[in-house]
Amino acid sequence: MLTVSTIGKRSARRVACGFSGEVVLLHFDKGRYFGFRGMGTAIWNSLDVSRAIADVCDDVAAQFDVDPAVCLDHAVRFLANLQEVGLIDVVG
């Protein structure tokens, strides 16, 4: 289970490209495409290095002027979904 102190990073088993504010990902092992925009794109972009979910939310909350508690709730669920399909790795 992910928490605000969980440290995550992008999985090496994927390729991503961005355009028009969206991110499209291909998971190599599963051969599946995923896409997201808005806050999902901001969360993904913030994981270009290993980071704690709380730090990711600090950046995203400032960027989207959203309540930090709401951001944390949504980010934890979003990242748990990405972890479940193998797009992020937990490193700490």
Domain-located, residue 92: no
Q: What is the CATH number of the domain that holds 20?
A: 1.10.10.1150
Distance of CA 41 to the CA centre of its chain: 7
Domain-located, residue 26: yes
Residue 42, domain extent: 9-85
Question: pLDDT tens string for the chain (92 positions)?
Answer: 899 899 999 998 889 998 888 999 998 888 899 999 999 999 999 999 999 999 999 999 989 988 888 999 999 999 999 999 999 999 98
Its pTM surpasses 0.85: yes
Domain-located, residue 17: yes
54/56 Cα distance (integer angstroms): 5
Domain-located, residue 71: yes
Domain count, the chain: 1
